[in-house]
Structure 1
Amino acid sequence: MATHALTPPTADEQLQTLVEFPDNRLLIDLCGEFDRNLARVEQLLRISIVRRGNVLLLLGEEADRKRGDQLLRGLYARLEQGRPVEPGDIDAAMRMPQAAPRQRPDGQMEMFAGGAVEIRTRRKVVEPRTPAQKDYVRQLFAHELVFGLGPAGTGKTYLAVAAAVAMYLEGGIDKIILSRPAVEAGERLGFLPGDMKEKVDPYMQPLYDALNDFLPSKQVQKMLEEKTIEIAPLAFMRGRTLSNAFVVLDEAQNATEMQMKMFLTRLGEGSRMAITGDTTQIDLPRGVKSGLVEAERVLVGVDGVAFTKFRSADVVRHPLVARIIDAYERDHERSKDA
């Protein structure tokens, strides 16, 4: 792959950059179906891209063309490494530079070598797509207790479950325990039809979805039957000591102060905890304080405890989600000032 400067350039040619890609098959993957990847680059960088054989012609301001050149080179390098390029990978490359992973002497990829942060599971390799996500993943592997705080769509729970699966596959833990307050206000499961599993499963579905992204469905089912994976409402954690496990508490903003303290004190030998939540979406009854808010206040600075705070810029769902979150935050600020 090389960039060619035309000699001598005309006035029009000074506003364009040619980028050549030697492997036409990889170039097809780079462009994406119906050139959707190129369209995304154009949208993000305010440039126009014209394909001529195995060469891409970039048109626009010099700074934008230079950034586009770097971006396309980095994405092409992903493809050379056998890694896919999806629209989300393009957004991630815009947010932060992607470093190539190195190999260990045994031939395996070193997890955090060379600045690259990846979580390898049975079904996919999970890559952080924002600097905050990258910091969060590092913390999940470095600390016994990690809080991921921020709006929906920032990958807090998804990355925590991925880390749990990766640690289990590496033999670092014996089981995975996933929990959340089963009902938004009070866990009143008795009003729901069916047995206990049928009552709580609708509230646990996001956790099942994440697991099925990382492990074959048959393996997930077997691990659930063997209780190597447990998915249970928060109320079921009382009285237990959770040893040699990776424990994830999702939607923690809806845990009361008493429930949060109970949960935190379940941590046993050889275990790790990830607690995720959004303190702007507390569904507890009026007058009941959120245990997540209290834990954030009390545990800051405690050795072995780490916090990552996500913002709307870290949303990796549809771009409109970030704009919706920003709009609500602005409205909240106006309401406080009024």
Structure 2
Amino acid sequence: MSTPTDGLSSDSVITRQITLEPDNPQRLASLCGLANDNLKQIEDRLDIRIRNRGNLFELTGEEARLTTSIDVLRRLYRETKGGKDLAPDAIHLFLQPNEVAMLAQKQAEGSLHDDKLYVVHTPKLVVRPRGGNQKRYVHSVLNHDINFGIGPAGTGKTYLAVACAVQALMKDEVRRILLVRPAVEAGEKLGFLPGDLSQKVDPYLRPLYDALYDMLGFEKVDRLIERNVIEVAPLAYMRGRTLSHSFIILDESQNTTREQMKMFLTRIGFGSTAVITGDPTQIDLQKGQQSGLKHAIEVLTDVPGISFTHFASGDVVRHPLVQRIVDAYEANDA
């Protein structure tokens, strides 16, 4: 019997029962997974509770979610015919379009206002998004496989992405965190950088490290880096890889080329979440090179399953002067 998840409101939930036929212990074991891992994955992704005794399943949650969950269970059970085992990747493929549909329904109903939905828990602190855009951003990251956070400095794009990554790692939803950034200098020539690969890329990834230290502590971050659970890599080293069961953050993506952005996005494997952050007004590419971020916004905005959150100066959470500086530069550019 799977362990029920917490946090379902008694005011909005109902319970439904289904019986999966035929009653085949081997097929039911494949559906539930080792230690009910498959059922837990469905529970977490669709925000429901599942209990079963043999081929009798009891589901608790919001009515729309239950309808979706029952359909997923029945289709997955059909997949076990012939003794076929269900891998986590197969569960992921069945769940993904249903998650997107449910998110669209919640947005249409205007039910994205419960602050508890957006709180991100990390070992050292609890991260609470501020304002509508930050809440929408966190909600999108938790419900989409590929997410873009676009806007000026100080709007929390990177910090919130790291918080979601740490939470996913602590909940065993992913096996590792990858921190990726194009090694483009911000208008300065830094010259030769000594050290190994990690040390060469460190200066470019300092904001990500700072967020990790806030949420996990210095010693734990260092241990996870040593074990390669947290991996640091320049964007160029992503070519040829398939990144499965990972949380990948591509920071400063405005400094990717079109080819680099396409290469990065096509690295995403099963069970992974990618967050791409950037500010299209701070591009450091050589003249004549189109930003991969700007191009992605044009090409991918209407692709189902990919989320875009656009931040503005009003979302800046740093010193009040930062917001005025952003506004002044935008006015000048206009």
Q: TM-score, structure 1 length as denominator?
A: 0.64
State the 1:115 CA deviation. 3.6
SS of the aligned residue for 1:259 comes to helix
Query: CA distance change for structure 1 residues 202 and 248 in 2, over 3 Å: closer, same or farther?
Result: same
The letter for the 1-side match of 2:147 is: V
Query: CA distance change for structure 1 residues 144 and 187 in 2, over 3 Å: closer, same or farther?
Result: farther
Q: Distance in 1 between matches of 2:250 and 2:279?
A: 12
State the 1:193 CA deviation. 2.7
Q: Distance in 2 between matches of 1:297 and 1:245?
A: 26
Q: 2:326: which partner in 1?
A: 325
SS of the aligned residue for 1:191 comes to coil
1:127 and 2:128 equivalent?
yes
SS of the aligned residue for 1:182 comes to coil
Higher relative contact order (CA 8 A, sep 6+): 2
- The within-5 A match list for 1:201-240 is 201-240=202-241
Q: 1:65: which partner in 2?
A: none
The letter for the 1-side match of 2:293 is: L
State which drifts further: 199-208 or 252-261.
Answer: 199-208
1:53-75 deviation per Cα after TM superposition (whole angstroms, max 9, x unaligned): xxxxxxxxxxxxxxxxxxxxxxx
The letter for the 2-side match of 1:247 is: I
Query: CA distance change for structure 1 residues 246 and 296 in 2, over 3 Å: closer, same or farther?
Result: same
1:80-112 deviation per Cα after TM superposition (whole angstroms, max 9, x unaligned): xxxxxxxxxxxxxxxxxxxxxxx638xxxx9x8
SS of the aligned residue for 2:277 comes to strand
Alpha-carbon RMSD across the aligned residues, in angstroms, is: 2.1
Query: CA distance change for structure 1 residues 222 and 320 in 2, over 3 Å: closer, same or farther?
Result: same
Q: Distance in 2 between matches of 1:222 and 1:237?
A: 23
Q: 1:199: which partner in 2?
A: 200
1:211-231 deviation per Cα after TM superposition (whole angstroms, max 9, x unaligned): 111102211111101111111
Q: 2:185: which partner in 1?
A: 184
Q: 2:244: which partner in 1?
A: 243
Q: TM-score, structure 2 length as denominator?
A: 0.64
Q: Distance in 2 between matches of 1:167 and 1:237?
A: 21
Q: Distance in 2 between matches of 1:187 and 1:305?
A: 34
| Identity %, equivalent residues | 56
Q: 1:19: which partner in 2?
A: none
Q: 2:164: which partner in 1?
A: 163
Q: 1:79: which partner in 2?
A: none
Q: 1:300: which partner in 2?
A: 301
- The within-5 A match list for 1:1-338 is 104=7, 114-116=114-116, 117-184=118-185, 191-333=192-334
The letter for the 2-side match of 1:145 is: I
SS of the aligned residue for 1:141 comes to helix
The letter for the 2-side match of 1:248 is: I
Structure (1 or 2) with the larger CA radius of gyration: 1
Moved over 3 A (4+): 112-115, 185-190
5+ residue gaps in structure 1? 1-102, 334-338
Query: CA distance change for structure 1 residues 189 and 329 in 2, over 3 Å: closer, same or farther?
Result: closer
The letter for the 1-side match of 2:278 is: G
SS of the aligned residue for 1:306 comes to strand
Q: Distance in 1 between matches of 2:174 and 2:295?
A: 29
Q: Is the 8 A contact 2:187 2:284 kept in 1?
A: no
Q: Distance in 2 between matches of 1:221 and 1:243?
A: 23
The letter for the 2-side match of 1:205 is: R
Q: Is the 8 A contact 2:201 2:232 kept in 1?
A: no
Query: CA distance change for structure 1 residues 173 and 189 in 2, over 3 Å: closer, same or farther?
Result: farther
State the 1:196 CA deviation. 2.6
Q: Is the 8 A contact 1:185 1:285 kept in 2?
A: no
Q: Distance in 1 between matches of 2:265 and 2:190?
A: 23
SS of the aligned residue for 2:194 comes to coil
5+ residue gaps in structure 2? 1-5, 9-46, 48-111
The letter for the 1-side match of 2:322 is: V
Q: Is the 8 A contact 1:184 1:283 kept in 2?
A: yes
Q: 1:63: which partner in 2?
A: none
The letter for the 2-side match of 1:281 is: Q
Q: Distance in 1 between matches of 2:298 and 2:233?
A: 27
The letter for the 2-side match of 1:267 is: I
1:228-252 deviation per Cα after TM superposition (whole angstroms, max 9, x unaligned): 1111111111111000001000000
